[in-house]
Amino acid sequence: MRTPDGVSYTEQVDVFSTWAYVRQQYLNEIASTAGTTLKDTITFVIRYDQPQEIDTSMAIKWNGAVYQIVKANPDLANKQWTTLIVRKQ
């Protein structure tokens, strides 16, 4: 979107809400991701079939914080779950 002055900006809009399982990392996983692109990430597991396709331009609001989607891994074989790797903004 653009302001009347022509400056670009993004507006957050709620797309949908869904059930999610928040997978906590074990200590060895936290240590192994230190210094990598997965540092400080959280994993959300949601149902595969959602009202809209998930992509990395989306964010998740959870517990009063906003998390940017780093990677979405859909279960293409069984079509049961999609795993979302997210990082707090």
Percent of the chain with pLDDT over 90: 52
pTM listed for this prediction: 0.74
Residue 23: predicted pLDDT = 82
Confidence label for 89 from pLDDT (cuts 50, 70 and 90)? confident
Tell me the β-bridge partners of 43: 23, 85
Q: Are 64 and 49 in contact (CB under 8 A)?
A: no
* pLDDT digits 0-9 by tens, 36-77: 555 678 899 999 999 999 999 999 999 999 999 999 999 999
How many CA atoms within 13 Å lie on the side-chain side of 78? 5
DSSP assignment, residue 64? T
pLDDT digits (tens, 9 = 90+) for 77-88: 999 999 999 998
